[in-house]
Structure 1
């Protein structure tokens, strides 16, 4: 069965003057990146910068990996703001989360701030959170203290942080399921109302994204934040039989696949074989055994 990766995004401005969240995707040599940024503040300048930064983050992550890509964009923005000195306080900044999928490899996630990534392992299941917030609420919880109602609004890591060792989070997990990237305006109203996010994740990625942001705004107060969600259906295990002889397929470097049968000369990009390579691959041996046709 060939499986195609699909994705969709949705946004609602809420009670803000500008939509300062942004999403972007980028694909490079079979590696696809999904990025979501949540701009800190609400101005036209922040809006424009966040949209540009989201595209740059997706491009960097697709080329170098989730964490390396985030480090590149983070370091670049920190260097820019350092040059401005005290004026940097008034320049655009954002929290970010980026996820990278690649044929035959686990899902990679990297983040700074309180933008989140979730993975829904199967249809109807509740999402599993992959990220840990970088904000004062989490700091206090880690110290076994009770955070105040506004502790979550103070982030401790973001694009533009010029501290010597800013915290950047990263995680790796299975590369199949439904990926959900969300700004705090999309998940916090549901958490506050104790409404399961999974109740709004049915249907196509576009349908689920729209349903989730609408639900977030419906459960928010009069000061509703921007709500943004990006949802991607990651590849299920594809049909890995050689199209020439039906034999076992071996995944080579950079997504190239070949037939393991000595007398068969078939070779092609894994993406051509099945659109993507999912959990059917043995990630240790980098091979997959399939029944002959």
Structure 2
């Protein structure tokens, strides 16, 4: 029985620039990847799909999410065409999770795509967004805080950990681990989780059922919620749902 599933809806965008990939290494380590391409063009769509596959392979073969993401991040960052202040190459928010036999779940990210774990009926977020809202949180004077759509780190950037930390207070890549067993993993692009968050919805009820129907229901509901508000705009909505058995 397949233990994971993905689902996507294009929303109101011209291109579907989210991408997902899953890869299992000979060691048994499996990487789950979700990328959210920044922009809407054929080039960004194609680059994001290739980058997702590359990241899944790198993370699974290393058996660790952060090691895989750093390897791919550094490879893109070193490319000559990405050097200098006027470089305009494709970029994407990225989140990767690796489940390896006998090891805790590892998660790494750059950007605002998220990872959650559903265990004991509650969804727990594992990631922290790399955007201006994190840099400038909401206050009484500015209740919206910084613009959440302005990303402070992403795959394809040439900035180092120290450079990003100097301007945004967090490194270019962050990571987390979880010892949770018998849990459900959710990876989600901002177009999938923001409508729920903005509407004050608990994610847990939308993650019930086998992975395929749950994933399709999650993105369809996200797009419906986004289109129901004033000044509606539904972004690309993509999720990956996986049932994990960790020890």
Structure 1-normalised TM-score?
0.74
Q: What are the ranges of 5 or more consecutive residues in structure 1 without an aligned counterpart? A: 236-277, 280-293
Following TM superposition, by how much is the alpha carbon of 1:141 offset from its aligned partner in structure 2, in angstroms?
1.9
The answer to whether structure 1 residue 227 and structure 2 residue 226 are counterparts is no
Superposed, which structure 2 residues align to 1:110-125 within 5 Å? 110-122=108-120, 125=121
The structure 1 residue matched to 2:38, chosen from 31, 40, 51, is: 40
Q: Distance in 2 between matches of 1:171 and 1:129?
A: 10
Q: Deviation of residue 146 (structure 1)?
A: 3.9
- The residue aligned with 1:249 is none
Q: Equivalent residue of 2:90, what SS?
A: coil
1:1-293 paired onto structure 2 within 5 Å: 6-28=3-25, 29-64=27-62, 65-80=64-79, 82-83=81-82, 85-89=84-88, 91-122=89-120, 125-141=121-137, 146=142, 148=144, 151-165=147-161, 166=164, 167=171, 168-176=173-181, 177-221=183-227, 222-235=232-245, 278-279=246-247
Contact 1:105 1:175 in 2 (8 A): no
Cα displacement string for residues 219-259 of structure 1 (whole angstroms, at most 9, x for unaligned residues):
10332110000000001xxxxxxxxxxxxxxxxxxxxxxxx
Does structure 2 conserve the Cα–Cα contact (< 8 Å) formed by 1:93 and 1:160?
yes
CA shift in 2, pair 1:142/1:101, >3 Å: farther
The question of whether the paired residues in 2 share the 8 Å contact of 1:137 and 1:147 is answered with: no
Q: Return the alpha-carbon distance in structure 2 between the equivalents of residues 80 and 16 of structure 1.
A: 29
Structure 2 Cα separation of the partners of residues 143 and 57 of structure 1: 37
Would you say the 8 A contact 1:175–1:234 is kept in 2? no
Q: Which has the larger radius of gyration?
A: 1
Deviations 1:186-240 (A, max 9, x none): 00011111111112111111111111101100110332110000000001xxxxx
- Where structure 2 has 5 or more consecutive residues not aligned to the other structure, the ranges are 165-170
Structure possessing the higher relative contact order (Cα contacts under 8 Å, 6 or more residues apart): 2
Q: How many residues align?
A: 231
SS of corresponding position for 1:170: strand
1:39/1:95 contact within 8 Å kept: yes
Supply the distance in 2 between the matched residues of 1:116 and 1:86 (Cα, whole angstroms): 28
Rounded to whole Å, the distance in 2 between the matches of 1:31 and 1:48 is 26
